[in-house]
Amino acid sequence: MKNVVVIGGGIIGLSSAFYLQQSGCKVTVIDKDNFKDNCSYGNAGYVCPSHFIPLAAPGIIWQGFKWMFNSKSPFYVKPSFNKALIDWGLNFAKSATNKNVIKSAIPLRDISLLSQHEFEEWNKIPDFNFGYEHKGMLEVFQTEKVGEHAHHTVEKAKELGLDVSLLNYEELQALESQTKINAIGAVKFNCDSHVYPDKLMDGLKKLLLAKGVEFKYGETVQSFEKSNGVVTKVITKENAYPADDVVIATGSWSKEIAELVGAKISLMPGRGYSLTLEDSDYKLNHPMILAEGRVAITPMDGNKIRFGGTMEVVPTTAKPQYERINGVLNAVKDFLPEFQIEKPAEKDIWYGYRPCSADGLPYIGKIKKYNNVVIATGHSMMGLSLGPGSGKLVSQLINREPTSIDTKAFEVERFN
Ligand SMILES: Cc1cc2nc3c(=O)[nH]c(=O)nc-3n(C[C@H](O)[C@H](O)[C@H](O)COP(=O)(O)OP(=O)(O)OC[C@H]3O[C@@H](n4cnc5c(N)ncnc54)[C@H](O)[C@@H]3O)c2cc1C
């Protein structure tokens, strides 16, 4: 039986563990924390084939530059001479082109649809309830300019075979009749679904434990033992774990871990914030993206509603800027005037670090230097959505099986 060590207990690590265990491997998952202090919990829970346009797209650089000087803006890059940031910034700027958008659409669609299919399979597993709902997502806009852009998005989505339609104001308001919406229209991505991430993560852990996957809490991987072109042991301060194969799924911390096995990836953390009302007086029927406000709202798991947004490209050690939640709440008040939500106490504001690749595509594949190491990270704004699909690909790569979809676009060392 193959002995696989998975480093990182976020959605990508746990999904990899799921398919590896299912394929007959003995799996150990190691995390530096308690498996909860990661990005896979407080996110908006979208399972989103709609997101076939990567973050690195034309216009983002200039828009980002304009937003940089506003503490409530949805996008912020902390200027610094940090080499990782400069390297990432240059690669990001090079990738923010129409060519990248066109090249990325099919790989992103394919991994999204694969992942959504796997979520639907998981949803059939007895006692594994994670609030999966397939009712689509509304991308709501207020201006003619964004409306024009929405038109193109709908055309492109249809070309990709995705189920999507353009709604005028009356059609949008009819879908959300209990809530006044200040907008002129919306794209309805019928192809999208959503989950309650906290329940998904807790349920997945429970399922893996029941299947015999071992969890190592509070151990930080610091180095690797290598011999004859393979990694033989994964080393933490406390232990050394023998491994036939290794998966690096350490989210925003992956760049440093990848370097320990001689692999260079262009990656920066993109911090975002969210707020969840556990028993909400405010009601929405559908998950909603407020296009100009860059905010995601998800009604989830019965009466909960989550508001999330902002993208701060900062090191994981940077102090959280809790006032950024005001930018999220102001956008909500602007689009949904009845949603008068005040800034909560800091303890009630969640934040997490999206692992942002420089071109908006994940890194999934083997590395060049050691034949038994697979990296799976860089999923940016889509890690939850792409979790099961990525996990399935990881297991196929480790088991040297044909992959469900072409993984060429996700090559790990593509910037070298
Ligand atoms: C506000 C917000 C909203 C979002 N909404 C969505 C959404 O709607 N849909 C979507 O698809 N995505 C969304 N995302 C993005 C998504 O949450 C991330 O892409 C995803 O959670 C990344 O998962 P991961 O497993 O790669 O990383 P993580 O969940 O961060 O897990 C990485 C793990 O690795 C561990 N680790 C790191 N270093 C070490 C080490 N040296 N040794 C051992 N363990 C280590 C960490 O402790 C951590 O547990 C959102 C993100 C934010 C911030």
Query: Is residue 11 within 8 Å of residue 156, measured between CB atoms?
Result: no
What is the C-alpha to C-alpha distance for residues 272 and 253, in angstroms, rounded to an integer?
16
Q: In this predicted model, what pLDDT tens digit does every residue of 18-63 receive, in sequence order?
A: 999 999 999 999 999 999 889 999 999 999 999 998 887 777 777 7
- Residue 256 Cβ < 6 Å to ligand 1: no
> How high is the pLDDT of residue 65?
66
What spacing in Å lies between the alpha carbon of 377 and ligand 1's midpoint? 9
Atom 31 of ligand 1, nearest CA residue: 10
Mean pLDDT of the 183-201 span: 98
> How high is the pLDDT of residue 74?
76
Residue of 7, 34, 37, 40 to mutate, ligand 1, most atoms within 8 A of C-beta:
40
3-state SS string over the chain?
CCEEEEECCCHHHHHHHHHHHHCCCEEEEECCCCCCCCCCCCCCCEECCCCCCCCCCCCHHHHHHHHCCCCCCCEEECCCCCHHHHHHHHHHHHHCCHHHHHHHHHHHHHHHHHHHHHHHHHCCCCCCCCCCECCCEEEEECCHHHHHHHHHHHHHHHHCCCCEEEEEHHHHHHHCCCCCCCCCEEEEECCCEECCHHHHHHHHHHHHHHCCCEEECCCCEEEEEEECCEEEEEEECCCEEECCEEEECCHHHHHHHHHHCCCCCCEEEEEEEEEEECCCCCCCCCCEEECCCCEEEEEECCCEEEEEEEEEECCCCCCCCCCHHHHHHHHHHHHCCCCCCCCCCHHHCEEEEEEEECCCCCEEEECCCCCCEEEEECEHHHCCCCHHHHHHHHHHHHCCCCCCCCCHHHCCCCCC
Query: Is residue 237 within 8 Å of residue 220, measured between CB atoms?
Result: yes
What is the C-alpha to C-alpha distance for residues 21 and 14, in angstroms, rounded to an integer?
10
> How high is the pLDDT of residue 414?
96
What spacing in Å lies between the alpha carbon of 73 and ligand 1's midpoint? 22
- Domains annotated on the chain, with CATH: 3-410 (3.50.50.60)
Atom 27 of ligand 1, nearest CA residue: 251
DSSP structural state of residue 251:
G
Residue of 39, 118, 322, 329 to mutate, ligand 1, most atoms within 8 A of C-beta:
39
Q: In this predicted model, what pLDDT tens digit does every residue of 86-142 receive, in sequence order?
A: 999 999 999 989 898 999 999 999 999 999 999 999 999 999 999 999 999 999 999
Give 173's pLDDT tier (boundaries 50, 70, 90): very high
> How high is the pLDDT of residue 71?
65
Weakest mean pLDDT among 79-83, 267-271, 370-374: 79-83
Give the other-Cβ count within 10 Å of 137's Cβ.
28
How buried is 270 (Cβ within 10 angstroms: 0-12 exposed, 13-18 middle, 19+ buried)?
Answer: buried
Scan for tokens 């082109």, then name that residue: 97
**107 vs 64, more confident:** 107
DSSP string of 374-394, one letter each residue: EEEE-BGGGTTTTHHHHHHHH
3-state secondary structure of 402: coil
- Residue 384 Cβ < 6 Å to ligand 1: yes
What is the sign of the dihedral through the CA atoms of 405, 406, 412 and 414? Answer: negative
- Residue 195 Cβ < 6 Å to ligand 1: no
Parallel/antiparallel/unpaired status of strands 267-277 and 288-290: unpaired
What is the sign of the dihedral through the CA atoms of 334, 337, 343 and 347? Answer: negative
* Residue 380 pLDDT greater than 90, yes or no: yes
3-state secondary structure of 242: strand
What is the C-alpha to C-alpha distance for residues 275 and 12, in angstroms, rounded to an integer?
23
Q: In this predicted model, what pLDDT tens digit does every residue of 300-322 receive, in sequence order?
A: 999 999 999 999 999 999 999 99
What is the sign of the dihedral through the CA atoms of 177, 304, 291 and 321? Answer: positive
- Residue 357 Cβ < 6 Å to ligand 1: no
Give 69's pLDDT tier (boundaries 50, 70, 90): low
* Residue 391 pLDDT greater than 90, yes or no: yes
Mean pLDDT (the chain) is 95
The proportion of the chain whose per-residue pLDDT surpasses 90, expressed as a percent, equals 89
Q: In this predicted model, what pLDDT tens digit does every residue of 244-270 receive, in sequence order?
A: 999 999 999 999 999 999 999 999 999
